[in-house]
Amino acid sequence: MSQPMTLTEEQHEFRSVVRQFCEDKIAPLAAEIDRTAEYSWATFEALKSMELTALSYPVEYGGSGASLVDQAIVAEELARACVSTSLQFLISKLGMLPVINFGSHEMKSTYLPRICSGESQCSYGLSEPDAGSDVASMTTKA
């Protein structure tokens, strides 16, 4: 049986800073985001202001190089304040994973700095005729 994961002292401090940020800047917007079901530029700007758009991206392309645990901490705290904003944060990274993992240096140099700075955003989308966006029901094979 594996040992439960524990956060380092630095990660606990990071969580506290992110939690306070979420309580101050994200939570007050959550009800309106839910009510309108529209993309929130205000929360994106807030994420940029904390440099969270660069979190866990490679340092050589303008990222912070933070760990996946740090990314999970941010996602949890964002979700605690506003699930939509947590998804906003995570989906951008999901959309960039093919570039990070398989892109050429030229491609990474073109796109990653703009994502990290918040100048650009990335998203993720998929659809299939008989499944819509229900990933579990998709039947297409590569």
| CATH number assigned to the domain comprising residue 130 | 1.10.540.10
1 within domain boundaries: no
4 within domain boundaries: no
Greatest extent of the chain over all pairs of C-alpha atoms, in Å:
48
3 within domain boundaries: no
Structure tokens at 44: 């994106």
From the list 60, 51, 72, 58, the residue with the least C-alpha distance to 7 is 72
Can you give the pLDDT at residue 1? 67
Q: What residue numbers bound the domain in which 115 lies?
A: 9-137
pTM score of the predicted model:
0.86
Per-residue pLDDT of the chain (142 residues; tens, 9 = 90+): 677 789 999 999 999 999 999 999 999 999 999 999 999 999 999 999 999 999 989 999 999 999 999 999 999 999 999 999 999 999 888 889 999 999 999 999 999 999 999 999 988 778 888 777 777 888 877 7
Question: Which DSSP symbol is given to 56?
Answer: T
Integer-rounded Cα Rg, in Å, for the chain is 17
Tell me the C-alpha distance between 133 and 27, whole Å.
28
